[in-house]
Amino acid sequence: MGTATQAAGKDAGTPRKPAARAALVGVHGFGTHHLRNLERLQAAGAVELVAVADPQPPAPGAVPPSAAIHSGLDELLQAAPDLDLVIVATPIQTHAPLALAALATDAELYLEKPPVASLADFSRLCAAAAASGHGVQVGFQSLGSHALLAIEELLAAGTIGTLEGISATGRWVRDRAYYKRSRWAGKRSINGVDVVDGVATNPLAHAVATALRIAGARTTADVASVETELYRANDIESDDTSVIRIRTTRGLPITCALTICATESVEPYVTLQGSAGTAVFHYTEDRLSVETAAGRTEQTYGRDDLTENLLAHRATGVPLTSSLQDSGAFMLVLEAIRTAPPPSPIDPAHVRWEGDGDSAHAVVAGIEDALERAGRQHATFSELGLPWAASAPATFDIPAS
């Protein structure tokens, strides 16, 4: 009791650290999530949102009155040069130039996923980050889940036996309006600039990143091979229904079977296939279920906030939860998709449309069963013999490190 009281008294006498000066670039789309989180952190005294930047002004009252509003990052940095944190939540094709500009300051950088749209830009950004000495956190929020430590522990304990493979399964619904919300939605490139907006690189990118992290594949050196089989039911450039098959340098297969052309949206999950059982991680819910001969257990875990982790990294040097360097394995997957042949259109005879107008969404016939089989068998759609799967998997040549 006395020790706790003394500690409390000591803390009470310690001057409070000034709030970190933060700026947000991109206040629409996922930027609204960051606005809410920064509001929470500002109420707690951890940050002060001093400025935002977006060519499309925020709605009245969307940002705190104390935050200056700018049309672009350059203008923001001229007006507020002494920042501690810059968050970039803008379209994919803008990430590289904005991130490089932010790293030229003294601020830490939070960069939304995917970090950039090509492996070449990733290499440039890694070099700039190393030269700056600042932390770069990539917005794979699922990597903050405490369930990942529980998974490490169950694997170390041999609870599900030897890990034989990992699959990531995602089936969501996205309607026509989803592809009309911005000029870059559903694009592989715009005027020669890479975008790489596809099911595995944007809406269900967390499924890929989470599977890679569980497999211990963080950097580019951790991946031995990547194969892609990309399809589209929508009238777009990018893929909306795909299988990505990865093999780590340790020989572990990872198969990501993903679509946004499902009958209904279901929470995505990563399955660990063991010799003596399975573990299923629903990463959006931080929920882990384990099934062995002894029975089935399920537990929901907490999650660390990536912005708070980045601020702690700046203050005390704690490791980043989702560092730029550790997104190298994911970037190899993105590069494989970027350089693959254009997605094959799915024969309309195997696609039905539900809903009307911009609310209509495509449903690929039998897609739920196809995703399950692909993940379970580590097979692509063509290897499963699906009637609409005419492509063969494309093999990506991993650059020598």
CATH number reported for the structural domain that contains residue 148 in this entry: 3.30.360.10
Residues 64 and 149 in one domain: no
CB 293 within 8 A of CB 155: no
Residues 382 and 256 in one domain: yes
Domain boundary among 117, 141, 165: 141
Residues 6+ apart with CB under 8 A from 309: 137, 144, 318, 320, 321
Task: Give the model confidence (pLDDT) of 156-187 as tens digits.
Answer: 999 999 999 999 999 999 999 999 999 999 99
Predicted confidence (pLDDT) at residue 215 exceeds the cutoff of 70 = yes
Distance between CA atoms of residues 187 and 197, nearest Å: 6
Residues 73 and 158 in one domain: no
Which of 140, 98, 141 lies closest to 121, judged by CA?
Answer: 98
Residues 148 and 291 in one domain: yes
pLDDT reported for residue 15: 59
Residues 163 and 30 in one domain: no
- For residue 312 the two structure tokens come to 């702690």
Average of per-residue pLDDT values in the chain: 95
- For residue 232 the two structure tokens come to 């589209």
Residues 273 and 374 in one domain: yes
- At residue 40, the 3 state secondary structure works out as helix
CB 188 within 8 A of CB 238: yes
Q: Give the end-to-end CA distance of the chain in Å, rounded to a whole number.
A: 56
Give the mean model confidence (pLDDT) for residues 368-391.
97
Task: Give the model confidence (pLDDT) of 234-245 as tens digits.
Answer: 999 999 999 999
Predicted confidence (pLDDT) at residue 199 exceeds the cutoff of 50 = yes
pLDDT reported for residue 17: 79
Predicted confidence (pLDDT) at residue 129 exceeds the cutoff of 70 = yes
Residues 114 and 253 in one domain: no
Give the total number of structural domains in the chain: 2
Alpha helices in 215-354 (DSSP H): 306-316, 328-339
pLDDT reported for residue 3: 41
Give the mean model confidence (pLDDT) for residues 134-153.
98
Distance between CA atoms of residues 363 and 369, nearest Å: 13
pLDDT reported for residue 66: 87
pLDDT reported for residue 35: 97
Task: Give the model confidence (pLDDT) of 323-359 as tens digits.
Answer: 999 999 999 999 999 999 999 999 999 999 999 999 9
Give the mean model confidence (pLDDT) for residues 136-162.
98
Domain with 122, as residue range(s), is 2-141
Domain boundary among 141, 160, 187: 141
- At residue 219, the 3 state secondary structure works out as coil
Which of 234, 236, 208 lies closest to 336, judged by CA?
Answer: 208
Q: How many CA atoms lie within 13 A of 146 on its CB side?
A: 7
Domain boundary among 115, 141, 167: 141
Task: Give the model confidence (pLDDT) of 12-42 as tens digits.
Answer: 555 567 999 999 999 999 999 999 999 999 9
CB 346 within 8 A of CB 239: no
- At residue 300, the 3 state secondary structure works out as strand
CB 216 within 8 A of CB 166: no
pLDDT reported for residue 391: 81
